Structure 1
Amino acid sequence: MRRSRRWSVLGAAVVVSLLSGCAASSSPSPSSPSAAATPSPSASPTPTPPANPSPDPVAALTLEQRVGQLFMVGTNATTASPATLAAVADRHAGGIFLSGRSRAGIAATADVVARFTALGHPDGAPLWVATDQEGGEVQVLQGPGFDAMPYGIRQADLSDAQLRASAEEWGRELAAAGINLDLAPVADIVTSKATRFDNPPIGGYGRQYGYDAETVAAKAGAFAEGMRDAGILPTFKHFPGLGHVAANTDTAADVVDTTVSPDGPDVAVYRPLTEAGPSAVMVSSAIYGRIDGSRPAVFSPTVVSVLRDEIGFDGVLFSDDLSAAVAVSAWSPAERAVDAISAGVDVVLVSAKPSVFPAMYDAVLAKAQSDPQFAAQVDAAAARVLAAKADMP
C-alpha cells in the first residue's frame, strides 16, 4: 500500500514556521460575519476553545540532536563499529549505513542493527538504517535469507509488475534485517549501450536501467514502488546524473560532466520518479559544467535549486559519500559537511570512513551556534528528516 505524503506537508509547515518566526492566528477577523454575529438571547454562549497547534518536532530536539539528524555514519555490515556506536550515542547521529559486503544473512545482520537501535534516540527521531542494495555487484547484504539480486540492466528485462514484485520481496528481506532505507535505485541515464563501458561508475558495473528517460523512469520507478510496498524508503541517485562521466567520483578528482543540463532528460526523469511516492534523492559529487562548473554538485546551491525549484522535490537530500571520495578530497572533512548543508543537502553520508565524523559534526554544530542563517538551514533540514522518519511504517 502506498504511504501518505502528509509528513512532507508537515515538514514544509515546520520550515515556514522556523523561518518566519510567526504562526497564523486561528481567531476570526473582527470584520468577518462570524465575529459580528450576535448569539440568540436564549442560547448559552459556548466559549471558543484555544488553538491547539501540533507540536513542533524540531523544537523538541536540542541543537546538538538536530545536527546529529543530518548525518548517516557507516559501519561494516558484519559488525557494529565502535566509532559508529559512539557516533550515535555521543553525537546523536540520526542514521547508520551498513557498508562493505556481508554474506552472514538476515539474522546476523539484524543482530548488528540491534546494537544501534538499542541505543537511546530522541522521541520522534528513530534511527535510519540504510545500505546499498541495488543488485549485481552493488549488493551489500547477501547470505541466508537474502536473494541474489540481478544487475540493474538485467532487472530492466522484467516487466514493470514483475520488477515491482521482486523489489517488494527484496525490501521485505531488508526489513527483516532491520533496514528501513535503501540507497537505491540508480536513476542515471547512461549515454548508450555501445559506450556503456566508457562510463565507469554506472555503465561499467551494469547498474543502469537503460539508456533513455522513459525506460529509466519505468524501471527505477517499479523498483521504488516495490521497496515502498515493503516499508522501505527508496533513494534515487545520483542527481543530476552520473551516466555520462568518464571517471568514478569515489576514485578520481575533478570528475566533470559536460552533458547534463537543467532542462535535459537526466534531470527531468526525477520528476515522475519523486512524484510517484515518498523517496529520498542522493546528490552526486561530480561537477556539472552546464549547471555549475565551479564546484561539485553536492556543494552547489545552484544544483540543489534545480531539484527543489524546477523538479519540485521537497523530500530529503543525501550527499554521496563525503568521508573518503577522492572527488571531494581537496576539502577538509569539516568543510565538506558545512558546505554540503550550506548548499541545501539534508543528510551528509559518512559511509566509508566513519573516523572523520566527529570533525564533521563539530564543525556543523559550531557554525550553527554562531551563524543564525546556517542554524535556520540546519533546522529546515532536520524538519525534512523528521517528517520523512515520521512517515515510516
Structure 2
Amino acid sequence: MKKVFSAILLLSVAFLCISCNTDNSSDSKDTVSTAEQSSTVQPTTVSEEAMAEKRIDKLMSEMTVEEKVGQMFFVRYPDANAEEQVSEYNLGGYILFGKDFDGKTREEITENINSCQKSAEIPLLIGADEEGGTVVRVSSNENLRETPFLSPRDTFANSGWSGIEEDAAEKADLLLSLGINVNLAPVCDVTSDYNAFMYDRSFSGDADEVSEFVKKVVEISSEKKLGMVLKHFPGYGNNEDTHTGIAYDNRDFQSLTETDFKPFTVGIESGADCVLVSHNIVNCIDSEYPASLSEEAHNILRNQLGFDGVIMTDDLSMGAITDYTGTENAAVLAIKSGNDLLCCSDVEEQYPAVLSSVQSGEIPIVQINNSVKRILKWKQKLGIIE
C-alpha cells in the first residue's frame, strides 16, 4: 500500500512540474512576443523619421551657400527664360499666375512645369492660387476645367460641408495632375464686412465656421500630398488692400487671439506646413513694421501658435512693402524678421542682396540653415524629394 501511495505521489509531483514548465514557457513566449512588438512597432517609426532627417542633413551638407539662399525664393514664374532662372538662382520654387495658364492646353502647361523641374538640382515647389471665386488662376482656363471653381462661401451655400470636401478633393486632383504641388490656400481670414477687400475671398465672418472650413481643406489636401498655405496671418479682417499701399489694422490683441488666430491654429493642428504673413501693419503687435517684416509677429506665430513649419511672405513686390522699404531691402528685412520663404517678383534684385548679407554675416548662416531645413522637410513630406 505504501508503495502504491508513493508511486501516486511521484506521478502527481511530475505532473505539477510539467504544468509549471508549460505555463512558464507560455509566459516566456508572451513576454518575447510583447517585447518583439514594442521593439518593432515604435522604433520603426522613430527610425523612419530619423532616416528622413538624415537624408535632409546629408543634402544640406552638400549644398553651397548660394544654393541654400536660392531655396528660400518662391518666385513669380517669368515671361521668358524660366529654366535658366532656375539654374542661375537655385530657386526653391515658382508661383504661376493667371497669365501662365491663359489659353494654354494641359499639355503645354505640364511641359513648361516639367521643363523647369528638369533644370532644378533640387525639385521645385510649384504653386498657384486656386482659392475659388475671385481667385482662380487654374480653373479660369476652360481647357483645364469647364467652369471656374466657386468661392468657398458659394460652395457651402450650395452644397454644405460635403460640397467643401468634394471641392477640396477636386482642386487637389486638378493641380497635382498638372505638376502643381502647392495651392496658396486656404484663406483663413475672418471677414464680416460686405464691403471689405477680403470679403469675397473669406469663408465666413464666424471664426468657428472658418476654422472648420480650414480643417477640412487642409486634411483632404494633405491626404493627397498637395501643399497648403494658410493665409494671411495674423488675420486680414476688414482691412484695406495691401497690393496698392500700406494698410493699418487697429484692432486690439484680444480680438486677434479670440477670433483671427483660431483658423490658423486649427490649420496648423490639421497638418498645414506653411503660413503666409500679410503686409498689414497690426498696431497691437508692431506699430512700426508690416507683419511680414515684424519679428514680433513671427514670434507670436512660432511661440504662441506653436508653428514650426515654413513661414512665407506675401509678395514682397506689393505696394505695402515697396512704398515702405524700397525693393532691394525687402528680402533682407524679411529674412531678419523670421521668414523662411520669400515670395517675390524681382529675384534678380532680391537674391544678390540676401546672398551678400549672408556672406557678410549680417544674416547668420545658422538662420539660413534652419529655414532651408524647414523648406526641404516640406518638400520631403510632399514627396517632391526623398
- Structure number with higher relative contact order (C-alpha < 8 Å, ≥ 6 residues apart): 1
Counterpart pick for 2:249 among 257, 270, 274: 257
Structure 1 residues 366 and 217: alpha-carbon distance in aligned structure 2, compared to 1, 3 A threshold? same
Structure 1 residues 54 and 64: alpha-carbon distance in aligned structure 2, compared to 1, 3 A threshold? closer
How do 1:142-161 and structure 2 match up within 5 A?
Answer: 142-146=141-145, 148-157=148-157, 158-161=159-162
The runs of 5 or more residues in structure 1 that have no matched partner are 15-51
Deviation digits for residues 137-157 of structure 1, max 9, x if unmatched?
Answer: 101012223352101221333
Tell me if structure 2 keeps the 8 A contact 1:130–1:183: yes
Partner of 1:287: 281
Tell me if structure 1 keeps the 8 A contact 2:56–2:373: no
How do 1:104-143 and structure 2 match up within 5 A?
Answer: 104-121=104-121, 125-141=122-138, 142-143=141-142
Secondary structure at the counterpart of residue 73 of structure 1: strand
Counterpart pick for 2:359 among 348, 366, 369: 369
Structure 1 residues 135 and 82: alpha-carbon distance in aligned structure 2, compared to 1, 3 A threshold? same
Tell me if structure 1 keeps the 8 A contact 2:172–2:224: yes
C-alpha distance in 2, partners of 1:327/1:155? Answer: 33
Structure 1 residues 55 and 326: alpha-carbon distance in aligned structure 2, compared to 1, 3 A threshold? closer
Structure 1 residues 83 and 288: alpha-carbon distance in aligned structure 2, compared to 1, 3 A threshold? farther
Tell me if structure 1 keeps the 8 A contact 2:126–2:180: yes
Structure 1 residues 176 and 257: alpha-carbon distance in aligned structure 2, compared to 1, 3 A threshold? same
Counterpart pick for 2:96 among 98, 106, 113: 98
The structural deviation recorded for 1:135 is: 0.7
The structural deviation recorded for 1:56 is: 3.6
The residue type equivalent to 1:61 in the other structure is: M
Partner of 2:268: 274
Partner of 1:300: 294
Partner of 1:25: none
Task: Give yes or no for the alignment of 1:88 onto 2:82.
Answer: no
C-alpha distance in 2, partners of 1:160/1:324? Answer: 34
Aligned CA-pair RMSD:
2.5
Tell me if structure 2 keeps the 8 A contact 1:73–1:84: no
Task: Give yes or no for the alignment of 1:331 onto 2:325.
Answer: yes
C-alpha distance in 2, partners of 1:109/1:269? Answer: 33
The residue type equivalent to 1:70 in the other structure is: M
| Matched residues, number | 330
The structural deviation recorded for 1:55 is: 4.0
C-alpha distance in 1, partners of 2:208/2:160? Answer: 14
Tell me if structure 1 keeps the 8 A contact 2:190–2:206: yes
How do 1:1-393 and structure 2 match up within 5 A?
Answer: 55-75=57-77, 81-82=79-80, 84-101=82-99, 102-121=102-121, 125-141=122-138, 142-146=141-145, 148-157=148-157, 158-190=159-191, 192=192, 195-197=193-195, 199-200=196-197, 202-203=198-199, 206-245=200-239, 247-252=240-245, 254-259=246-251, 261=253, 263-350=257-344, 354=345, 356-371=346-361, 374-393=364-383
The structural deviation recorded for 1:219 is: 1.0
Structure 1 residues 10 and 207: alpha-carbon distance in aligned structure 2, compared to 1, 3 A threshold? farther
Kindly indicate which of the two structures has a greater share of residues assigned to helix: 2
- TM-score, normalised via structure 2 length: 0.79
Structure 1 residues 149 and 54: alpha-carbon distance in aligned structure 2, compared to 1, 3 A threshold? closer
The structural deviation recorded for 1:373 is: 5.2
Tell me if structure 2 keeps the 8 A contact 1:168–1:228: no
Structure 1 residues 10 and 264: alpha-carbon distance in aligned structure 2, compared to 1, 3 A threshold? farther
C-alpha distance in 1, partners of 2:66/2:258? Answer: 40
The structural deviation recorded for 1:6 is: 8.8
